[in-house]
Amino acid sequence: MRSSVKIGNLVLMDGTWSSLSAGGALAVVGAVVGASSGAAGARALRSIRAPAPVPVYWCAGLVGLLWTIAALRASAGALSGWWLAVSWATGLLTVLAVGADLAHRRLPDLLTLRAPPVLLSLIVLAAWAAGDGAVVGRALLGGLVLTACYAFVHLLSPQAMGAGDVKLAMTVGMVSAAVSWPGWLLTVILAPLITGVAGLVIAFRRGGTAPVPHGPGMVIPVWLLVTFRP
């Protein structure tokens, strides 16, 4: 016999109550661990050879928020366990990369070179859990193709595409392609579009042109894609 819990005029069966409790607990874990990870990442950016300091509390709050959103998605059944881990890792990278690129107009190697092996490992685990080995091949191919495209643009115009953007492309291409090829294509299109729109807004408000970092336009769509994957 199933029991129920009454909250005001709302009656919840015991299974529903347990699911809500588990979802709330996961959201709390996401908020706390995410905030701690964001703060640790911000401090790490201050201690590298070429420091790229970003506000610790700003990073902690935003990473905690992104991790909470992903945890709620997982609680609703929209993200499996390992895809939740991919979303969390991508969320941490997104906040740190956006902060560093906006503040210093560069993407530290701490982010661009360490992210690919971490996220590839998580993608492999997600593919193994789902029994879909094609995910890994798709991720590697997507990362390599996007990196090659960005490297070509960098060779033609280093001012238009920085070396950090080229290195970040491996992670962006891997994660987006792991979700789907349409997702990869959408990310490829949105990245320059976001950068271009931001440049137009800045030019309109300031009455002149100013360099706009490309990193934010690359990572933000990827986090949205992996977290709200169809």
Percent of the chain topping pLDDT 70: 88
More confident residue, 165 or 9: 165
Quick one: pLDDT band at residue 121, thresholds 50, 70, 90? very high
Residue-level length of the chain: 230
Question: In this predicted structure, what is the pLDDT of residue 94?
Answer: 98
Confidence at residue 16, expressed as pLDDT on a 0 to 100 scale:
46
pLDDT at 18: 54
Closest CA to 164 of 118, 119, 112: 112
pTM of the model: 0.89
How much is the average pLDDT of 109-135? 96
Mean pLDDT (the chain) is 90
Domain that holds residue 160: 4-227
Among the ranges given (71-85, 108-122, 195-209, 215-229), the one the predictor scored with the smallest mean pLDDT: 195-209
What band does 19 get if pLDDT is binned at 50, 70 and 90?
low
Residue pair 70/30 in contact (Cβ under 8 Å)? The answer is: yes
Residue 10 is predicted with a pLDDT of 38
What the block records as the tokens of 93 is 């990278």
Q: What angle do CA 66, 62, 56 make, to 5 degrees?
A: 145
Q: What is the 3-state secondary structure (H, E, C) of the chain?
A: CCCEEEECCEEEEHHHHHHHHHHHHHHHHHHHHHHHHHHHHHHHHHHCCCCCCCCHHHHHHHHHHHHHHHHHHHHCCCCCHHHHHHHHHHHHHHHHHHHHHHHHCCCCHHHHCCHHHHHHHHHHHHHHHHCCCHHHHHHHHHHHHHHHHHHHHHHHCCCCCCHHHHHHHHHHHHHHHHHCHHHHHHHHHHHHHHHHHHHHHHHHHHCCCCCCCCHHHHHHHHHHHHHCCC
Q: How many domains does the chain have?
A: 1
In Å, how far from its chain's centre is CA 201?
Answer: 24
pLDDT (mean) for 70-79: 92
Residue 192: how many other CB atoms lie within 10 Å: 15
pLDDT in tens, 82-118: 999 999 999 999 999 999 999 999 999 999 999 999 9
For residues 121 and 100, give the distance between their C-alpha atoms in angstroms, rounded to a whole number: 24
> Could you report the per-residue pLDDT of 35-73, keeping only the tens digit for each?
999 999 999 999 999 999 999 999 999 999 999 999 999
143-189 per-position pLDDT tens digit: 999 999 999 999 999 888 999 999 999 999 999 999 999 999 999 99
Residue that the structure tokens 């169809």 belong to: 230
What gap in Å lies between CA 7 and CA 138, rounded to an integer?
Answer: 47
